[in-house]
């Protein structure tokens, strides 16, 4: 059974989820089309149809940075250990690992890199603006 990682820790999928509606976005969807609902959903799931399909990364940044979504943002689908670091940078805070992933191994993914050059959901200021501070 798939494992859920939420806010850097292993959670169980069978644990009770919070109440409220879940918005699921497919990779081709435009988050702007759902902007009016974002304040009322309990969580948003973004579906990754394939390991190498990167559309969900842009969707996550748009949700966090443009639409100001602050709730749980969960990556679902073909989600593997080696995607987690970049997903977290783009604003995901929950990850439903695909079957067969080693959850303990996956937790270490969040420490793959200790710094990033770019602005992102996790680091709203690019490195060159943070250097000055």
Burial level of 33, CB count in 10 A (0-12/13-18/19+)? Answer: exposed
Looking at beta carbons only, is 2 or 53 nearer to another protein? 53
Looking at beta carbons only, is 36 or 131 nearer to another protein? 131
103 in contact with another protein (CB under 8 A) = no
Residues 6 or more apart whose CB falls under 8 angstroms from that of 90 comprise: 57, 58, 60, 61, 64, 120, 121, 122
Strand extents, DSSP E, 18-65: 21-25, 41-48
Please give the Cα distance from 43 to 53 (Å, whole number): 22
Shortest Å distance, C-beta 112 to another protein: 5
Please give the Cα distance from 52 to 80 (Å, whole number): 10
The only residue of 2, 11, 38, 80 in contact with another protein, by rule CB under 8 A:
80
69 in contact with another protein (CB under 8 A) = no
Residues touching another protein, count (CB under 8 A)? 36
The only residue of 61, 64, 72, 96 in contact with another protein, by rule CB under 8 A:
61
Looking at beta carbons only, is 40 or 58 nearer to another protein? 58
Give how far the C-alpha of residue 11 lies from the chain's centroid of Cα atoms, to the nearest Å: 15
Task: Report the interface residues with another protein, using CB under 8 A.
Answer: 51-55, 57-59, 61, 66, 80, 82, 85-87, 89-90, 102, 105, 112-120, 124-129, 131-132
């Amino acid at each position: 059974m798939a494992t859920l990682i939420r806010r850097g820790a292993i959670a169980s999928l069978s644990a009770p989820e919070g109440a409220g509606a879940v918005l699921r976005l497919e990779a081709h969807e435009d988050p702007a089309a759902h902007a009016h609902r974002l304040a009322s959903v309990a969580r948003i799931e973004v579906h990754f149809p394939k390991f190498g399909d990167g559309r969900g990364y842009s969707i996550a940044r748009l949700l966090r940075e443009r639409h100001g979504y602050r709730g749980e943002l969960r990556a679902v689908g073909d989600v593997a250990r080696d995607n987690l670091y970049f997903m977290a940078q783009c604003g995901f805070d929950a990850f439903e690992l695909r079957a067969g992933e080693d959850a303990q191994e996956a937790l270490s993914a969040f420490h793959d890199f200790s710094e990033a050059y770019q602005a992102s959901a996790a680091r709203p200021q690019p490195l060159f603006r943070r250097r000055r501070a």
